[in-house]
Amino acid sequence: MTVTTYPDLERQSAEDVLAYAVERFHPRLYVACSFQKEASVIIDMLMRIEPQARLFTLDTGLLFPETYETWRALEERYGIEIDAYSGITPPDEAATIASRRWEHDQGACCAERKVARLKDALADVDAWVTGVRRDQGPTRAGTAKLHWDDRHGLFKVNPLADWSERDVWSYIVRHDIPYNPLHDRGYASIGCMPCTSPGTERDGRWPGSDRTECGLHG
Ligand code: SF4
């Protein structure tokens, strides 16, 4: 896909940004679901706009049981099926887990389990949607609501870019949406089990290392 012009959506609400994305790109629009609180909000909004919208997740095989439960709960609540792009092919899984690669080479582990799978997911669409918020940390502070994603060669839509954590919780409570119960146990950000601890915003990701992003967004 080649870059074409696109509007400045910075003054638009999250619902309006999503509606624009659906109108312009669906069905070549793919919505990423991390099963963190932001994903709960986006799924709820999206299903009100376009019940046939397409959703996917990157299943690294190392997610928390609570994350898998949230995945099932959201599918059940909205009557949807979320496509899964899995971390590693089964014959390699045992060997990779035995090597505990995340302990000695997190870059390679994320590249294999996440970044390569995202590339697969985005191979045949024109835009993707994420739950990235500017408040989540310095690497995300400049996030636009709609922009051309050079890294993946398609448009990237971030409807919640200007939302605070409070905005997210307020929406979840108001609409009584299923959410990942780990948030109630002090995990503000939730990724793979070996690399996630309780903490505010993204402080609990890769604790004890300089790593702040897995390569999907920065
Ligand atoms: Fe591997 Fe940790 Fe990255 Fe998950 S977050 S893919 S376990 S390094």
Instruction: Look up the CATH number of the domain holding residue 35.
Output: 3.40.50.620
Q: Highest mean pLDDT range out of 46-55, 100-109, 134-143?
A: 46-55
User: Is residue 204 in some structural domain?
Assistant: no
Q: Is 214 a catalytic residue?
A: yes
User: Is residue 22 in some structural domain?
Assistant: yes
Sheet containing strand 154-157, edge to edge, reads 83-86, 54-59, 29-32, 127-129, 154-157, 146-149
Higher pLDDT, 61 or 167: 167
User: Is residue 207 in some structural domain?
Assistant: no
Which atom of ligand 1 lies at the shortest distance from residue 193's CA? 7
pLDDT band at 103 (very low <50, low <70, confident <90, very high): confident
How many whole angstroms from 66 Cα to the centroid of ligand 1?
A: 17
Residue 209 has pLDDT above 90, yes or no: no
The span from the CA of 126 to the CA of 122, in Å, is 8
User: Is residue 187 in some structural domain?
Assistant: yes
Q: Per DSSP, which regions of 37-174 are E strands? A: 54-59, 83-86, 127-129, 146-149, 154-157
What is the pTM assigned to this prediction? 0.92
Per-residue pLDDT reduced to its tens digit, 114-148: 999 999 999 999 999 999 999 988 889 999 999 99
Residue type, 42: I
Residue 38's pLDDT is what?
98
Residue 92 has pLDDT above 80, yes or no: no
Residue 165's pLDDT is what?
96
The span from the CA of 145 to the CA of 133, in Å, is 9
Number of domains, the chain? 1
Which atom of ligand 1 lies at the shortest distance from residue 113's CA? 6
The span from the CA of 83 to the CA of 56, in Å, is 4
The range of the structural domain enclosing residue 144 comes to 14-195
Q: Which two tokens stand for residue 47?
A: 């299903």
Residue 153 has pLDDT above 90, yes or no: yes
User: Is residue 7 in some structural domain?
Assistant: no
Is there an atom of ligand 1 within 6 Å of 102 CB?
yes
User: Is residue 201 in some structural domain?
Assistant: no
Phi, psi of 106 (to 5 degrees): -65, -35
Residue 217 has pLDDT above 90, yes or no: no
Check if the beta carbon of residue 12 is closer than 8 Å to that of residue 137: no
Name the DSSP letter for residue 203.
T
Q: Is the peptide bond before 27 cis (omega within 30 degrees of 0)?
A: yes
Residue 9 has pLDDT above 70, yes or no: yes
User: Is residue 202 in some structural domain?
Assistant: no
Give the mean pLDDT of 22-51. 98
Give the mean pLDDT of 169-189. 97
**Residue among 110, 192, 195, 214 flagged as catalytic:** 214
User: Is residue 205 in some structural domain?
Assistant: no
- Please enumerate in sequence order all residues whose Cβ is within 8 A of that of 60, keeping only pairs 6 or more positions apart, or say none: 87, 113, 114, 117, 192
Q: Is the four-CA dihedral 33, 89, 182, 190 of positive or negative sign? A: negative
Residue 86 has pLDDT above 80, yes or no: yes
Length of the chain: 218
